[in-house]
Structure 1
Amino acid sequence: MAAIVPGSGNSPSGTASEGAAEGPARGGRRILFGDFEAQPAAGLLLRNGHRVRIQDLPFRMLMVLLETPGEIVTREELRNRLWGEKTFVEFDNNLRVAAAKLREALQDSAAGPRYLETVARRGYRFLGAVETIAAAVPVPEAEVPEPPRVDVLPDIDATTQVPLDEGRGRRPFALLGLAAVLLVGLAVWMAWGWRHHRPILAEGDTVALGSIENETGDASLDDALSLAFRIKMEESPFLHAISGEHFERASAVLQSGKGAKLSRAAAELSVCGSSGGRALLNGRLLRSGSGYTVRLAAERCTDGREIASTEASTNSAETLLAALGDAANAIRLRLGEPTATLGRFDVPLTQATTSSLAALRAFREGEQKHFAGRDLEAREDFKLAIDLDPNFALAYLQMGRSYSNNGERSLSRAYYQKAFDLRDRTTDREKLYIATSYYGYATGELGRAISAYELWSSLYPHDVVPANNLATEYLSLGEGQKAVASVRRAIALEPALPVPYTTLAQALLISGDLPALSTLCNDRQREESTSMGFHMACHELAIVQGDQGRQQSEERFVHGTPLESLLLNDAAEAEVYGGHLRRAAEMFQGAIDAARAHAMPELASVIELNGAGIFAELGESATAVRWAEDEQAHSQPGADLDASAAMVWATLGNESRAREFAAAAKALSPTDTLLNESELPVAYAIVALHAGRPRDAVAVLAPARPYDLNNSMELMPIYYRARALLASGDRAGAAAEFERLLANAHQRPRSVYLPLSRLALVKLYAAGGQAERARAMKESLEEIWRTADPNFAPLHSLRGSVSDHDDHR
């Protein structure tokens, strides 16, 4: 019945580039002129909806000019607005450079200006009409009625942006340290490890975020700051940080592999270099009298040479996170991040993570177990982190991710909800991570999830996570080509990161590009992947291609793992496709037992109801009822399970039970896109067909058409629409739908609805006088069912219908 889709690891350590389409800003003004749109709050310039690369100073110059279009803005006013009245720089040359960069971004010309006019010896003037409007958030058409709006990023708008003329950071750095003392009660001082103010990195340069080594002798502080340091640096949209998951896994291999083992520092530097990083950012935690000093440094990945450093000291362990935050901000500025950007993306670490060092350490240990593929063990550490700090939003997020990636969606929803409720206790990047997970997995509002990922990509154009995860949302909708395009952007950002290759394998499978998938599965480097999702995609390819050697190899890979049940489910569906129901029943039961053996009761229930629905469709009512009535199949509450049960009982002809489960599913997930626009309409359509109301079935399936190819329904909406059209007398419409289903066979190559559609077309072609088409379709079916069980009902139906037609002729 409904397809079972494993988690693709859609959160690489979290886990579009320039040119990706942007949506309207979530808050603040939008300023329109010509083909361009400026979003001051987000610091974005768009042309025809696509992001334009522009540096901070030219963008701020544009904002000043747009305030008074058609009027001259003097050189003196621009100096005061862009650099500050008391700042002495060679601003004439700098202003000319900024104007040239602005013209380059606007594709304008000084000789024949369209937007930016130079007024000799006076200043500059903006030409053309300007329209300022309030930003609006696009709402997917499917979201009716509209639930109350929840701002994803309440902090990012014009009301909270640091003023441009105050964001230059020209006051002595010692005053910043004094302000920190006054604000957070720290006895803190800063020692700046540079001799000049020239930026070290350019925007988008790749960096690796290493560890904070504990050199205090206090074992309770081991690795206590590494996670907070990474989160603080990932907050910066200026830096392109290598995925933490990939970086830590690769470093761990070098520290524990065969042969000469590297130290942690040497391993991190090596991975930074092999990943194309320019600088490794790391640190040390030191004793300083009765207090502590946090020392951060940037080292060249090529030779380990230190190129920048900073220190922050504090009197007690309770204020270590505040000191780390100060040092991290200092190193961000030193590396070249504009002061205005730092001002917009700077959440205190005690708010962004937790004030409990013990909770941080527990979270860190859970994260390292997750990176090592020990997800079930990692949950205990995340639970401990929550116990130590019940307001630790990221710990709830990781619990939700762990359950959803292992097929336990109902359990994941509660954790995603809690993380969403606490999202203001995170950085803006983590806030986006929480919001996308919440919309994608807790409420099922795919339109909002996609909008949030697009916003994430616009604010963090170098971040691989939104590009990869946006692809997984397209996979949910069955939009394979969009998924391929999005995940290829992710791979371009981080070619060495394994997770996007799993997403790519799944996207190539549902888009039908089997040659490209075969190449990927046979890539020697990819063959060593530890991703279950990757090996499952390659396993399904092996089934389609009849490659038993590859199929057995993939089965051995997942044998004994928690996801073995998913592979057995796919193998069972392939047996049904070939008409081997006895063997399929055994494999479905094996999949159910494997899921329960690994303490995954919800996944076991999903598989059991999936098998029940398939057997009910084929007329094997006894087996279907036995699985559907199994108490364990309903032991876990959840909208997905209730929707599956509704379809099973509808197929079995039990309208009252079908409606009971459908109502329960609707009540649990009133905003879930696929449940309300595809799964429940199919259940109601089956009820209508059994009640002899085919036109009602056609009508109820009309809103489902945009979601016909979603990857949870195995082409069922198309199949039942075709059956409803046929029952209502529209043979041509039915044939067109059955043919459309077969044209999209790549979505689910071994779905039972493929041969059943072929069977229907044999009869339709024969009845319509298309003998050759009927014969060709019949031969293809006979090949599929060549070794089918002797009592396989569809095979008998095929033979009987063709012989009846031959007799009629």
Structure 2
Amino acid sequence: MRDALEGILRRDRPPYLRVAAWSGLGALAAGALFFASNHKPVFKLHSSDTVVMAVSNNTTDAVLNDALYIALLTGLEQTPYLNVLAVNKVGEALSKRSLKMDPTRITPAIARQACLDTRSKLVIEASISEAGNNFRIDLNEIDCQSGETVAHVQNDAPGRNQIIHTLGVAAVQLRRKLGEPDTSIAKFNQPLEQATSASPEAIQLLTEGYRHHLFNDYEGAISKYIQATDVDPEFDVAYVVTAAAQASVGQEALAASAATRGYNLRSRATLPDRFHAEEIYFQEATGQLEERTAVLSRYIQTFPLNHTAHNNLAECLSLLGRFDESRAEALETNRLLPDASSHGKLMTADIFTNRLDDAKAVYSEAVAQHFDDTTLHDQRALVAFLQNNGHDLQEQWRWSAGKPGADRQLLYSRASMESYYGRYREYRSLSGQATEMAIQEDSSLDVGFYSVDGALREAEAGNFSRARELGTLALIQDQTKYSRLLLALAFARAGDSAQALKIANDIGQKAPLDTLIQKYCLPIIRAAAKLDANDPAAAIEILHNAEKYDDANAPLFQILYPNYIRGLAYLQLHEGQLAAVEFQKLLRNPQLTGTGETGALSILQFARSQRLLGQRAAALKSYEQFLDLWKTADSDLTAYRQAKEEHASLSAARSAADEGGRHLTLKGVEKTSFKAGDDLPALKHVKTQ
């Protein structure tokens, strides 16, 4: 079930949340059940070999239908020696044979078909039946190629509350018959009834929660997960996935509490699930990104074939702005478990590292393999935008039309592209349509984000009154902490620093250890407030202390925002050269700024930097580049009007200088020149545009 959950937990979440529900749980080698320590393996597995599971419940107890599968999966996946085929890969194999059934409830014969189709090595079949007052558990290893049973383990559980324990013992016996060394078994051998639960009911409730989670029914999942922890208050994994689901619907305080509970119980879990418990704790409870990254690095060292660990490390590295390293992990994730999600994340990594043609190739590969999700198309649209390819953009807009969820997401992407070109009337129309769709689909977090993002875009374009109106509206809407921080930035850029700092300080106090909040978001907001207070030196000092995180990729925030704010501060100080360096970083990395308004406005700010340096010709060229980019912009935009005025003023000054040069006289009339440090007509407004 872990693998089936991979890639679906990012609907309303910041894009770094990937919590795998099950990464393997342990087995207990009990002395009451004998197995020979010197048993030679009957079937040697290589690290690249995968096995397919099949489970049969031959009792009248329906609770065991799912509980047996999940418990056995846990027992087998706790060791790096075994590589169980992902549930979604089993499902894909069944679909190709037109077998529409639950991949967790397939017969050995069908499992063998899936095994052959996926070039796996073995089928591990488990069955439970009633044997008098006992429950008999049988485990068989079936060679996919021959169909022969190559090993068999049988144990009896003396009662219902001993089923999970006995299954764990049988799993250990099976692992030994597969050739796993005793040293490995000793290291990866957590008692199964501790690593999961001794209660089949608790495991069944957890599985039902997974099914809700897979279809983005987070509330339904949360309900089942909480019921599972009510049955077994020490069910570690249930708390971890509860935190994931609660975070997905913006229940951040509850998610932090559940993550803390899972973290405190992690000693009961298998080693993979301990890694998960620690990872989500550092993600949801403390926000310590470096610590989370370190956990995932240790996870990969121990379980190098675990695609979830590679995936989550890729996201952590991306959040830290380490894009090349992130791409390497995304490549490995896609190699280990290629699907729509892994292709979409690899596209993102390719875009961030400015490999746009590679991103297109990944998209084409996904289409060829019939992988499809909204993220793939959204990223393909972004590539088309960056390459100024209108035909490819239209192709993505047509794809999304009429598809619930996808139409809204791509419609807002289209809206953001309109604002990039200064077409704010069109942006407002499209974002309004996206908002109506989000309301109809009961996606309150998206409704809130659209308002916040709109407020910031309006503020950067100089529409301060409208920005404050949108911001005030957003205050009463559902928001995640990152959305509220983005709102604080919008207020600061719109001239309401008091409201900005109130929001920012409140969140900062509640998240004292959060890496991105403390080192990226808050410095940007506080520096923007200093700009609004005409204290650019203080703004630069604030950002200097967080310079290590300039390239961070904080959720919802535009990348390189610190450079933009720092550049504005240098403009206020009339430090043209230093300002130019900051804006050049944005201009040289359009793949990082994307459709963000700072990408377009940096051209204007760079022109102002050049003008301060007395580089008249270069400044005119930059102004013209910006005005050409915004040639279809709304004529009433403050930033647009100021750019035209400054361009006209500089053009007139150049004409006057040229004219003066042509009329030199013997009386020593000097050529007019623009001196570095001369004031700009609109420089006093730079702090808020």
Q: TM-score, normalised by structure 1?
A: 0.72
1:539/1:637 CA distance change after superposition, 3 Å: closer
Could you say which residue in structure 2 is the equivalent of 1:522?
A: 364
Task: Give CA deviations for 1:405-457 in whole Å, capped at 9, x if unaligned.
Answer: 56765654343233223323321111101211221343221100110001101
Aligned equivalent of 1:10? 18
Partner of 2:404: 560
Which residue number in structure 2 is paired with residue 710 of structure 1? 552
Match status 1:232 vs 2:75: yes
| 8 Å CA contact retained: 2:616, 2:650 | no
Q: Which residue of 2 aligns with 1:744?
A: 589
Supply the distance in 1 between the matched residues of 2:356 and 2:254 (Cα, whole angstroms): 34
Shift of 1:611: 1.6
Q: Counterparts of 1:244 and 1:487 in 2: how far apart (Å)?
A: 20
Matched, 1:211 2:219: no
Match of residue 804 from structure 1: 649
Answer yes or no: is the 8 Å Cα contact 1:13–1:243 preserved in 2: no
Instruction: Note if 1:724 corresponds to 2:569.
Output: yes
Give the equivalent residue in structure 1 for 2:662.
none
Aligned equivalents of 1:252 and 1:6: distance in 2?
32
Contact map agreement 2:225 2:242 (CA 8 A) in 1: yes
Residue 505 of structure 2 is aligned to residue 663 of structure 1:
yes
Tell me, in whole angstroms, the C-alpha distance in 1 between the residues paired with 2:414 and 2:424.
Answer: 12
Question: Among 710, 733, 758, which residue is 2:578 paired with?
Answer: 733
Q: Report the Cα distance in structure 2 between the residues aligned to 1:657 and 1:469, rounded to whole angstroms.
A: 35
Matched, 1:579 2:422: yes
Q: Does 1:757 align with 2:602?
A: yes
d(CA) in 1 for partners of 2:95 and 2:198?
Answer: 28
Aligned residue in 2 for 1:672:
514
AA of the residue aligned to 1:721: R
1:201 and 2:201 correspond: no
Select which of 480, 503, 510 maps to 2:352: 510
Amino acid in the other structure paired with 1:670 = P
Query: CA, structure 1 residues 435+255, in 2 after alignment: closer, same or farther (shift >3 Å)?
Result: farther
Seen in structure 2, the aligned counterparts of structure 1 residues 642 and 807 have a Cα distance that, compared at 3 Å, is same
On the 8 A contact 2:527/2:542 being kept in 1, the answer is yes
Q: SS in structure 2 opposite 1:360? A: helix
Q: Residues 284, 740 of structure 1: CA spacing in aligned structure 2 closer, same or farther, 3 A cutoff?
A: same
Deviation at 1:296, TM superposition (A): 1.3
Question: What does the per-residue CA deviation read over 1:556-614, in whole Å, with 9 as the maximum and x for residues that have no partner?
Answer: 37x323x7654443332211101111222233334444444444433432332222122
**Residue correspondence of structure 1 range 35-50 to structure 2 within 5 A:** none
What residue identity is the alignment partner of 1:236? Answer: T
Q: Which residue of 2 aligns with 1:290?
A: 133
**Which letter does structure 2 place at the counterpart of 1:316?**
G
State the shift of 1:330 in Å. Answer: 0.6
Deviation at 1:212, TM superposition (A): 2.1
Change (3 A) 1:550 1:380: farther
Please report how far the alpha carbon of residue 461 of structure 1 lies from its aligned counterpart in structure 2 after TM superposition: 1.9
Alignment match, 1:278 = 121
Task: State the Cα deviation string for residues 34-85 of structure 1 (Å, max 9, x = none).
Answer: xxxxxxxxxxxxxxxxxxxxxxxxxxxxxxxxxxxxxxxxxxxxxxxxxxxx
Is the CA contact 1:209–1:242 (under 8 Å) kept in the aligned structure 2?
yes
Name 1:117's counterpart in structure 2. Answer: none
* Counterparts of 1:309 and 1:553, CA distance in 2: 55
Contact 1:190 1:312 in 2 (8 A): no
1: CA distance, partners of 2:625 / 2:150: 67
Contact 2:464/2:495 (<8 A) preserved: no
Superposed, which structure 2 residues align to 1:130-145 within 5 Å? none
Aligned residue type for 1:300 = D
1:300 corresponds to: 143
Contact 2:39 / 2:176 at 8 angstroms: preserved in 1? no
Question: Which digits, 9 at most, give the CA deviation of each residue in 1:670-719, with x for residues without a partner?
Answer: 11111110111011111111111111000000133222222233121110
Shift of 1:371: 4.3
- 1:315-326 equivalence runs, <5 A: 315-326=158-169
Are the equivalent residues in 2 in contact too, given 1:7–1:404 (CA < 8 A)? Answer: no
CA distance in 2, matches of 1:190, 1:253: 42
**Residue 665 of structure 1: how far off its partner (Å):** 0.7
Aligned residue for 2:546, secondary structure, equals helix
Helix, strand or coil for the counterpart of 1:198? coil
Counterpart residue identity of residue 170, structure 2:
A
Q: Which residue of 1 aligns with 2:182?
A: 339
Distance in 2, Cα, partners of 1:208 & 1:413: 36
Is the 1:308–1:334 contact (alpha carbons within 8 Å) kept by the matching residues of 2? yes
Q: Distance in 2 between matches of 1:411 and 1:445?
A: 18
RMSD value, Cα: 3.1
Distance 1:348 1:768 in 2: 70
Matched with 1:146 is none
Displacement of 1:341: 1.5
SS of 2:50's equivalent in the other structure is strand
Preserved CA contact (<8 Å) 1:207 1:281: no
Deviations 1:283-337 (A, max 9, x none): 1112212211111122223343322221111121111000100000111111111
CA distances 1:208-238 after superposition (whole Å, capped 9, x unpaired): 3413210123333222210111111111122
Q: Does the 8 Å CA contact 1:12/1:243 hold for their aligned counterparts?
A: no
Change (3 A) 1:267 1:704: farther
Q: Show the counterpart of 1:102.
A: none
User: In the alignment, is residue 536 of structure 1 matched against residue 378 of structure 2?
Assistant: yes
Alignment: residue pair count: 632
* 1:550 counterpart residue number: 395
Structure showing the higher helix proportion among its residues: 2
Q: 3-state SS of the aligned residue for 1:695?
A: helix
Matches within 5 A, 1:467-506: 467-494=310-337, 496-506=338-348
Residue 732 of structure 1, CA deviation: 0.2
Q: Secondary structure at the match of 2:513?
A: coil
Q: Compared with structure 1, are the counterparts of its residues 254 and 294 closer, same or farther at alpha carbon in structure 2 (3 Å cutoff)? A: farther
Instruction: For residue 522 of structure 1, give the secondary structure of its aligned residue in structure 2.
Output: helix
- 1:398 is aligned to 2:241: yes
Instruction: Return the alpha-carbon distance in structure 2 between the equivalents of residues 306 and 217 of structure 1.
Output: 26
Q: Find the aligned partners of 2:448 and 2:134 in 1 and give their Cα distance.
A: 55
Partner of 1:629: 472
Instruction: Flag the structure with more relative contact order, 1 or 2, with Cα contacts below 8 A and sequence separation at least 6.
Output: 1
SS at match of 1:471: helix
Listed one character per residue, the Cα deviations across residues 527-576 of structure 1 (whole Å, up to 9, x for unaligned) are 7334443333223224433323332144237x323x76544433322111
- The one-letter code sitting in structure 2 at the alignment partner of 1:443 is T
Distance 1:9 1:675 in 2: 16
Inter-CA distance 603–11: structure 2 relative to 1 (3 Å threshold): same
Cα pair distance change 1:415/1:355, threshold 3 Å:
same
1:612 touches 1:625 (CA, 8 Å); kept in 2? yes
Aligned residue runs from structure 1 range 122-271, under 5 A: 179-180=31-32, 197-198=40-41, 200-202=43-45, 204-248=47-91, 250-251=93-94, 254=97, 256-257=99-100, 264-271=107-114
Letter in 1 for 2:350: L
Residue 646, structure 1, aligned to residue 488, structure 2? yes
| 3-state secondary structure, aligned to 1:292 | strand
Describe the shift of the 1:446–1:574 C-alpha distance in structure 2 as closer, same or farther (beyond 3 A).
same
The answer to whether the Cα contact below 8 Å between 1:6 and 1:533 also exists between their aligned partners in 2 is no
Aligned-residue offset at 1:761: 1.5
Q: 3-state SS of the aligned residue for 2:634?
A: coil
Find the counterpart in structure 2 of residue 362 from structure 1: 205
Cα distance in 2 for partners of 1:356, 1:748 equals 51
Q: Percent identity, please.
A: 22
The SS at the match of 1:307 is strand
